[in-house]
Amino acid sequence: MSAVQSPLIPIVGELIRSNPGTISLGQGVVHYSPPPEAIAFLSQFLTEANNHKYQAVVGIPPLISAITAKLQSDNRIEINDNNSIVVTAGSNMGFMNAILAITNPGDEIILQSPYYFNHEMAIMMASCRPVIVPTDENYQLQPYAIAKAITDKTKAIVTISPNNPTGAVYPETALRAVNQICCDRQIYHISDEAYEYFTYNGVNHVSPGSFPNSSDYTISLYSLSKAYGFASWRIGYMVIPKNLLGAVEKVQDTILICPPVISQYAALGALEAGKEYCQGYVSAIASVRELVLESLKRLESLCTIAPADGAFYFFLKVKTKLDAFELVKRLVKEHKVAVLPGTTFGMEDGCYLRVAYGSLQGEAAVEGIERLVKGLETIIFDNG
């Protein structure tokens, strides 16, 4: 465990608490709450005394049915004899389930750089090795480089689209190329799709699990945390090859026994509301995104800003010799605005910052991004 990095979000959170009035552009959460349907389903949970007892390891049957319908309509993924749904306590748990199910100590998992830090941490905790493959200058996949990184110890390739931390959305051609590599090399494609509904400028999200004949080697991870304002409810789900079900059940039964049933009922209500609930808020987030992007243009001489058509992040490369975490601390202490350092996402070759705008709205959005822009201008100019 001493070799596993400490998650930076709690550390930055403590910085924020120590500097009252700080506006957070750090943690990736949305500003809105769960739909009324989710809250309404809680009363149904309470009417059945049996709900206070352990339920099925993989999830309650009504929720499995609702997820099956959602996957068919929204992701074009068919649940059949070759795959299975497992409800999890968030998609982070789904990722850990997958890693523990498919690896032996010493095995390798390919991540794209910059990576999602909890993925890297999970791989390390399983006594496996993350193999980091750089993305291109726009943080897009490089299938040729990914294929070259495969060894006889490789068990999976991980993709996140829409991406955390970069906001990049991978095109279907690139995802198909990675999926085909996995098929050819008989390894797994782990596709994290927590931000599936957060796309802009007409860009579409594609689920690799929808590709023909991909069920045997594709692991798809989903979350309700973002789309339905469910962050603390800890509910998500995974679609796995049928042959992994026994192993995943062992992991889940040991760590969790069963997903929180009260959260599963709330998830039933959320899925009843459907993606239309999320899409109404995505329009508002898109407006904040345009505001942030317009403000960041003032930093073009100081930062490199790559295209980001998904999630609710911008990933900045700052032209400074300052350490990224030192820059984060100064932004909080001197300018009352918080972001995350790129080092926690594996970016060590310069100073990178992740800017999250999903929780912003109204005057807070304007003030938060203004503090960030002015803060970066002041600090970078002060340091030459």
Half-sphere exposure of 93 (CA within 13 A, CB side): 25
Which residues, including other chains, have CB under 8 Å from residue 250's CB and lie 6 or more apart? none
pLDDT tens-digit map of 204-259: 999 999 999 999 999 999 999 999 999 999 999 999 999 999 999 999 999 999 99
DSSP conformational letter for 350: S
Strands (E), 225-342: 236-241, 303-305, 313-318, 337-338, 340-341
| Cα within 13 Å of Cα(236), Cβ side | 27
Residue 83 DSSP label:
E
pLDDT single digits (tens) 318-329? 999 999 999 999
β-bridge mates for residue 110, sequence order: 131, 157
Report field, pTM of the whole predicted structure over 0.85: yes
| 62 vs 68: CA distance, rounded Å | 10
pLDDT digits (tens, 9 = 90+) for 329-381: 999 999 999 999 999 999 999 999 999 999 888 888 889 999 999 999 999 87
CA angle, 308 as apex, 304 and 310 as ends, to 5°? 160
Please give the structure tokens belonging to residue 140.
């897009």
Are 237 and 94 a contacting pair, CB within 8 Å?
A: yes
Q: Is 240 in contact with 98 (CB distance < 8 Å)?
A: yes
Which pLDDT score, from 0 to 100, does residue 109 have? 98
Residue 355's nearest CA partner among 287, 282, 288 is: 288
Question: CB of 126 within 8 A of CB of 99?
Answer: yes
For range 308-312, the mean pLDDT: 95
Cβ-contact 305, 299 below 8 angstroms = yes
The answer on pLDDT for 6 being more than 90 is no
Tokens of 319: 């032209």
Beta carbons within 10 angstroms of residue 74's beta carbon = 16
**Whole-angstrom distance, CA of residue 243 vs CA of residue 247:** 8
Pairing of strands 23-24, 337-338: parallel
Q: Check whether 384 has a pLDDT greater than 60.
A: no
Domains assigned to the chain: 8-33+276-382 (3.90.1150.10), 36-273 (3.40.640.10)
- Closest Cα to residue 334, out of 380, 383, 379? 379
Tens of pLDDT, residues 125-145: 999 999 999 999 999 999 999
Q: What is the rounded average pLDDT of the residues 195-200?
A: 96
Res 308: pLDDT? 94
Between CA 343 and CA 98 the distance in angstroms is: 25
- Residue 1: the pLDDT is 87
Q: Quote the crossing angle between the two packed helices 362-382 and 275-296, to the nearest 10°.
A: 30
d(CA 96, CA 118): 9
Side chain identity, residue 282: V
- The amino acid at 260: P
